Amino acid sequence: MPPDSIPMTAGQQRGRRSWAEPWKIKMVEPIHMTTREFRQKAIAEAGYNTFLLRSEDVYIDLLTDSGTNAMSDRQWAGLMLGDEAYAGSRNFYHLEEAVRQHYGYRHLVPTHQGRGAEHILSQIRIKPGDYVPGNMYFTTTRLHQELAGGTFVDVIIAEAHDPANLHPFKGNVDLDKLQDLIEKVGAEKIPYVSLAGTVNMAGGQPVSMANVRALRELTDRYGIPIYLDATRMVENCYFIQQREPGYAGKPVAEILREFCAYTDGCWMSAKKDALVNIGGWLAMNDQELFDEARNMVVVYEGLHTYGGLAGRDLEAMAIGIEESTRDDHIRSRVGQVEYLGQMLLDWGIPIVQPVGGHAIFLDARKIYEHIPQDQFPAQALTADLYVDSGVRGMERGIVSAGRDPATGDHRYPKLELVRLAFPRRVYTQAHIDVVAESVQAVYENRAQARGLRMGYEPKHLRFFQARFEPLPE
């Protein structure tokens, strides 16, 4: 260790050698800091909703890790290999091969992004009056299930709803809850289990291999299929490698194949794990379901060999899948999230623990404990962070949860969070330090924070476009 007078790196302070990203930067995109006055005006004009800001007015953009990834030189080169034939593009076959090799499913239907796949799966599997159990809702997933006539039932373990609980696999399905549902409504009313790895709304929390194995055993007894939201499944597999007994030495790519083998198919937003800016797919083993999905995709997305994408996008996805499953990539990706999480924890700032795969989630219920949930504390905290430093996050609380279609009332989720999601291969450690310092500044100023009133509320997925105004002091 160096003597006290020499500053130590973060790694040395923690008594370990540092790791670094397995890439270097070849091209840059300038970003700039604005003034506080400018940002106050910008957020007011955006109705205190960070989705309505112009990206040019943002300094560090942690709104989402969706479609915001930096592609590699191999992926950019792959764009030039785009075969833009309407039918039978060679890039489709490359993508099909990549999905078969890494996820293990036989059949592939490309879609323009994840919700295109959710739409098709929901329409072909769910009948009005059905119940769809899942490990916590996701906004677009649940909406498509509801639009198809289904009712989503949350069967995640109780620990997932507690930000401070340190369970290593907070994404796990509570098998007793699922069994109760099956007994209550009957297996014939359950078209599939909607299993997500990792669980976005719970804080990027993983599902264990033991849990999916047990889930398979249970669902097999009733003939219920399991469909996997594989959007961040590589991150999930990294946590299995790090935390689950028996997986320490196994490559993430191998763990991914094993996990997927317990499921019947998946839908994917390739804009996350798969390191592209647009794209998705639906994959499955069942021939009949594939025939239906392939028929449906031509109605809503495009021919079954392009699904709403250009050939070049399919190629970038095929290459991205392979890159995303490399151990050194996934370690540095999650490692960057953990770096911010550890700093905030050291400073006593409440966040969801354990730190998840794609984002840090600030516990707005705790940080703004004086603001009641129907005054949108997480929405207010997101806006305050932007005003402090130009860092853009996203509300993941009562606004995102929307209204109960049966009663029309707000849903009141236990988790009232601000998500700071990390685009892959985009920001450096210095950017992350700036984010940490801004979170700390807003945290220290928390007593001054005020709640919001919703002015405009759209019908579907209101968090994207709702407008707010500050409540009077």
What is the contact surface with ligand PLI in residues (CB under 6 A)? Answer: 64, 66, 113-115, 138, 140-141, 196, 200, 229, 231, 269, 271, 280
272 has catalytic annotation: yes
Least Å distance between CB 473 and ligand PLI? 33
Least Å distance between CB 4 and ligand PLI? 43
41 has catalytic annotation: no
Q: How far apart are CA 417 and CA 377, in angstroms?
A: 8
In the complex with ligand PLI, the residue whose CB is nearer, 113 or 241, is 113
Q: How far is CA 275 from the centre of its chain?
A: 13
Least Å distance between CB 97 and ligand PLI? 22
Least Å distance between CB 68 and ligand PLI? 9
In the complex with ligand PLI, the residue whose CB is nearer, 66 or 91, is 66
Residue 44 CB neighbour total at 10 angstroms: 14
In the complex with ligand PLI, the residue whose CB is nearer, 396 or 431, is 396
Least Å distance between CB 243 and ligand PLI? 20
* 34 within 8 A of 57, measured Cβ to Cβ: yes
In the complex with ligand PLI, the residue whose CB is nearer, 113 or 208, is 113
Q: How far apart are CA 204 and CA 168, in angstroms?
A: 11
The HSE-up count of residue 329 (CA atoms within 13 Å, CB side) is: 23
Q: How far apart are CA 228 and CA 248, in angstroms?
A: 23
Query: Pick the catalytic residue: 170, 272, 333, 425?
Result: 272
The strand pair at 226-229 and 151-154 is best described as unpaired
Q: How far apart are CA 352 and CA 364, in angstroms?
A: 10
In the complex with ligand PLI, the residue whose CB is nearer, 78 or 204, is 204
Query: Pick the catalytic residue: 38, 86, 412, 456?
Result: 86
Q: Alpha carbon of 249 to those of 24, 253, 255, 271, 332: distances in Å?
A: 27, 12, 10, 28, 17
Convert 210-237 to b/e letters by CB count within 10 Å (16 or more is b).
ebbeebbebbeeeebbbbbbbbbbbbbb
Least Å distance between CB 271 and ligand PLI? 5
In the complex with ligand PLI, the residue whose CB is nearer, 266 or 449, is 266
189 has catalytic annotation: no
Q: How far apart are CA 462 and CA 452, in angstroms?
A: 15
Query: Pick the catalytic residue: 115, 170, 331, 396?
Result: 396
Give residue number: closest CB to ligand PLI.
114
Token representation of residue 404: 């109960």
Residue 193, H or E segment = strand 193-196
Looking at the annotation, which residues are catalytic?
A: 86, 138-139, 229, 272, 396, 463
